[in-house]
Amino acid sequence: MSVIADRKNSHLRLCAEGDVEHRSTTLLEQVRLLHEALPELSLDEVDLSTEILGKRLEAPILISGMSGGTEEAGILNRALATVAQKCGLGFGVGSQRPMLVHPETAASYRVREVAPDVLLLGNVGFVQAREAGSQVVAELAEAIDADAICIHLNAAQELVQEEGDRDFRGAVDAITRLVDELPIPVVVKETGCGLAPGTLARLRGVGVSWVDVSGAGGTSWTAVEALRGTPRQRALGEDLREWGIPTAAAIVYAKREGLGAIASGGIRSGLDAASALALGADAVSLALPMLRAYAEGGLDAALAAANRLADSLRAITLLTGSRRVSDLAKAPRVLGPELRAWLA
């Protein structure tokens, strides 16, 4: 097995079982939506559907990119893509980096057979995108029939990894070229550390129109890396465990820049999802809970987890007196002091 494949399997195992989440929160709990005791709606009138990146979703929920490159990872991709197809959600594959070196791994990312209609997001790291160039990135997306491609940013994780990248120069230029040259939308995606106002302004300035804020409060990749590797990797990973911008703040920063915003990083319940949408997110996205549901009970458990999330989001939408899920953005709310401090 190649080094990258070995690492991917080890990441999947550590995330399914290990202590890998931030101890500090997303700050989504500091969004308190006001209860509407007179909603004047019937539950079946509540409409969760939305359209993003050119595709209609039954609910504004995506399953985040996690997997690919190995046989085990391919099975997970097909199972979670099946859930997305059955529930009308979006689905992202994990980093397609292995396809650059071993084109035969493409099969582990191909999910269209089980998910012909889903919003499908490809995925590659900015370092690989910078080195491979736009043509190769376009081919990665085309090989799996993706509707858009996520370019992921993960400097904190790389710095902790013994074998990780150390040179993060040239990212903005690479993203500028991708936005100009790719035939599909580019989603710039963090991986659990969030995006700051200045970062978002630079991305907006070079023509990016969609981000996945992937903020702090959920899976911490520095915590994941602290569970493996050398003593140095373990120590640095623990030190940086809480590094990042809470998801709630990053959503507001992205909307202030006028960007389309997918909210991920610590979305664990329908209430988290509703709070993120109330802050202006266009959709939410979950990684760890879907991985864990699948690890515990296979496809049925992952399907149940997705249905539970949508059920709870539907209930909360009604309880705020909102008919459409997009109305959550106008729902009356009280913001707690810590979130207000991040937004000041």
Return the SS3 of 303.
helix
- What is the sign, positive or negative, of the torsion defined by CA atoms of 188, 157, 12, 101? positive
The answer to whether 69 contacts ligand FMN (rule: CB under 6 A) is no
Name residues contacting ligand FMN, limited to 34-53 (CB under 6 A): none
Give CA torsion, residues 170, 229, 191, 204, to 10 deg.
-10
Choose the binding region for ligand FMN from 9-17, 202-210, 225-233, 237-245 (rule: CB under 6 A).
Answer: 9-17
Choose the binding region for ligand FMN from 36-44, 60-68, 78-86, 310-318 (rule: CB under 6 A).
Answer: 60-68
In angstroms, give the least distance from the CB of 93 to ligand FMN: 8
- Cβ proximity to ligand FMN: between 73 and 319 the closer is 73
Minimal CA–CA distance to 160: which of 99, 58, 81, 241?
Answer: 241
Among 191, 199, 317, 322, binds ligand FMN (CB under 6 A): 191
The answer to whether 213 contacts ligand FMN (rule: CB under 6 A) is no
The contact pattern for ligand FMN, residues 76-95, with x = CB under 6 A and - = no contact, is ------------------xx
The answer to whether 65 contacts ligand FMN (rule: CB under 6 A) is yes
- Cβ proximity to ligand FMN: between 219 and 275 the closer is 219
Label residue 225 exposed, middle or buried (CB < 10 Å: 0-12, 13-18, 19+).
buried
Determine the Cα–Cα distance for residues 109 and 49; give it in Å rounded to an integer.
Answer: 26
Parallel, antiparallel or unpaired: strands 50-52 and 55-57: antiparallel
The answer to whether 303 contacts ligand FMN (rule: CB under 6 A) is no
Among 273, 287, 318, 328, binds ligand FMN (CB under 6 A): 287
Among 78, 152, 241, 314, binds ligand FMN (CB under 6 A): 152
Minimal CA–CA distance to 88: which of 62, 113, 66?
Answer: 62
The answer to whether 193 contacts ligand FMN (rule: CB under 6 A) is no
Instruction: Tell me phi and psi for residue 153, to 5 degrees.
Output: -115, 130
DSSP string, 201-262: HHHHHTT--EEE---BTSB-HHHHHHTSS-HHHHHHHHHTTT-S-BHHHHHHHHHHTT-EEE
Size of the site for ligand FMN (CB under 6 A): 25
The answer to whether 320 contacts ligand FMN (rule: CB under 6 A) is no
Contact predicate 186/146, CB 8 Å: no
Among 25, 30, 70, 123, binds ligand FMN (CB under 6 A): 123
Encoded tokens for 9: 């399997």
Applying CB under 6 A, the residues found at the interface with ligand FMN are: 11-12, 15, 64-66, 94-95, 123, 150, 152, 189, 191-192, 214, 218-219, 264-267, 286-288, 291
